[in-house]
Amino acid sequence: MATIKDGKKQSKNIHGADEDYDYVVPAVDRAARILSLLRAKARPMTIAEVADATGWHKSSVHKLLVTLCHHGLLDRNDATKQYSLGIALIEYGQFVLKNLDVAYAAKTFLQELAAYSGETANYCILRGTQMVVVDSIESKVDLRVVPPIGTMNSITAKSNGKAVLAYFPKDEVDKIIQAEGLPAFTKNSITDADVFKKELSAVRKRGYAMDMEEFREGISAVSAPVFDSAKRVVGTLSLVAPASRMTKAKVPDLGRKCSELAAQLSAMIR
């Protein structure tokens, strides 16, 4: 959740610390260890070999292997009864690398956006129906807004989500609104579906979305969409600041700057 901070920097480890191991799900942990084992061995393995290497019971290993195969994370050779890393891992890897490249490219634009505005600039990506903050350049002003890296919010909740939804097909927007809802976070929140969809139409016309204390009182934001090579909206460049500084008078200029830089980033990844 975004918070206004008074001069003090805070950090958050989104990968988890050792003390968080109490929250690890054993079955998932074992599945991940099997993937690591096959990567380390660099060869296909049978159920017995995996059981010997891990010390786990064969029946448990078998269930884990079958489940991983079901999701394409492993492949089974019916002739040799050996398991190897699956083709789905390539797809996941390519997806991650693509987004890392985009995030790297976004850094320059975030720096320019932060320098231009004096406010915190974020790069957010779409994951399902969630917008995720993946990179940020923090404002140097003492009183600033800093959403931690890894922050996730519903696509219907903030300006970054509106900037993305504005370019979705209308029937998909209806489904998302029905599934996610339009909660009243503040007195300024848009809770009526028809009003919300009119706002999305306005976003398309001006090229950026606004959040004037709609998600949190005292915090405002503007966001512009980033498109991939297939012209699908995949993320946003955003500015977030105390509402006392991001006033209605300043929003058009800041929104245009977001839109300009987002268009340049989109051109680089096409």
pLDDT, tens digit only, all 270 positions of the chain: 444 444 433 433 333 344 455 778 898 999 999 999 998 888 999 999 999 999 999 999 999 999 999 999 999 999 999 999 998 887 777 666 555 566 677 889 999 999 999 999 999 998 889 998 988 999 998 898 988 888 889 999 999 999 999 999 999 999 999 999 999 999 999 999 999 999 999 999 999 999 999 999 999 999 999 998 888 898 999 999 999 999 999 999 999 999 999 999 998 876
Only one residue has tokens 């009183």, namely: 143
pLDDT per residue as tens digits for the range 66-81: 999 999 999 999 999 9
Alpha carbon distance 110, 112 (integer Å): 5
For residue 237, count CB atoms less than 10 angstroms from its CB and return exposed for 0-12, middle for 13-18, buried for 19 or more: buried
Amino acid identity at 11: S
- The fold of 21-86 is Arc Repressor Mutant, subunit A (1.10.10)
pTM for the structure as a whole:
0.64
pLDDT given at position 219: 96
Q: Determine the Cα angle at 111 with ends 110 and 114, to 5°.
A: 85
Burial string for 74-87 (b: 16+ CB within 10 Å, else e) reads bbbeeeeebbbbbe
For the beta carbon of residue 251, count every other beta carbon within 10 angstroms.
19
Name the token pair of 114: 């932060």
Strand partners, 209: 223
Domain 97-268 - what CATH class? alpha beta
Only one residue has tokens 């939804």, namely: 165
pLDDT per residue as tens digits for the range 180-218: 999 999 999 999 999 999 999 999 999 999 999 999 999
Domain extents in the chain: 21-86, 97-268
